[in-house]
Structure 1
Amino acid sequence: MNNPKGEELKFHIGNSFVAELSDEDIKYFSERRITKAEPVTLVFFFETNDGNYEKIGFVEFDLRVINKNAYITFYVAPQYRGKGIGKLIIRKALEFAFKELNLRRVTAEVYEYNERSLRLLESLGFKKEGILKEAKFHDGRYWDIIVMGLMKEDWKNSEEFRR
């Protein structure tokens, strides 16, 4: 196969391929599709005095099945922030992820301006692993995304695990 020059390259926008794919290509792309599963979302709530339920927030794991890891995202309703509830629900969610889903690692991407989330994840044992420079545009400027990770072994050896 010749290496194409710039003017020979073409691309297609849409859901169908123009190029012929070999059986090997199809197998490769099919296997890649099953490595990513549907996200697992845990919704947290509590029962109020009048018997109703009020949502506190959620934690979602975007799974990478074959690699046994996931990206975590979370949200805590504004009225529950700053009360330790975020830490509680993420701790419960990590326990579920490492014990029930049998994950080896959990990764978080946090916007640098979200200092509260950075501190929260650090308090749960997450370590800063990298920076995606100016990868988020927000409020008229570009911000870094901080990549953080927590390995199952580190979680098992942490104070948070023993609580």
Structure 2
Amino acid sequence: MKVQICENELIKVETEDFQFFSETRIVEIPRRIVLNFFDDEFVGFVSFNMRYFNRNAYITYYVKKEKRGKGYGKKILKYSIDYAFEEMNMNRLTAEVYEYNEVSIKLLEKFGFKKEGRLKKAKFHNGRYYDIFIYGLLKNERV
């Protein structure tokens, strides 16, 4: 699989998938590092919203709809975690995930992310409020 490093994703998130992202995915954020992944075509991206002084990055990942369920999420997340800790010299990765996104929760936990907190009723979606879980992974705790 090929990787391209840049400041922006090469695909716009589909409107129906906004439910899985915080509003920071809709509003431009300066100081992001994005890894775009390809096989024969675009697969997905992982972006890092950097906190340089603290050596922490908020991680967001996305796999194109037709590529889901084929192991790409695991591949791009594993590569990106290693890249963040080894090349970007991060000490910590932070992820926010909505309580209804069970696939993402399982993926984070598979790579050693631990649930560190809960923002109660902080995500409004389809007429109701959901919790946002905060997950963290330290460099020395990764699997």
TM-score by length of 1: 0.68
SS in 2 for 1:94: helix
| 2-structure distance, mates of 1:37, 1:99 | 22
The 4+ residue runs of structure 1 with deviation greater than 3 A are none
**Higher normalized contact order (CA 8 Å, seq sep 6+, divided by chain length):** 2
Preserved CA contact (<8 Å) 1:37 1:64: no
Aligned to 1:123: 110
**Greater gyration radius:** 1
Alpha-carbon displacement from aligned partner over 1:97-130 (angstroms, at most 9, x marks no partner): 0000000000000000100000010001100000
- Segments of structure 2 that go 5 or more residues without pairing to the other structure are 1-28
- What is the identity, as a one-letter code, of the residue corresponding to 2:36? V
More strand by share: 2
Residue 37 of structure 1: how far off its partner (Å): 6.4
- What is the identity, as a one-letter code, of the residue corresponding to 2:116? E
Choose from 18, 38, 46 the match for 2:39.
46
Q: How many residues align?
A: 115
More helix by share: 1
- Segments of structure 1 that go 5 or more residues without pairing to the other structure are 1-35, 48-53, 159-163
Describe the shift of the 1:64–1:37 C-alpha distance in structure 2 as closer, same or farther (beyond 3 A): farther
Identity of matched residues, %: 54
SS in 2 for 1:56: strand
TM-score by length of 2: 0.78
Give the CA RMSD over aligned residues. Answer: 1.2
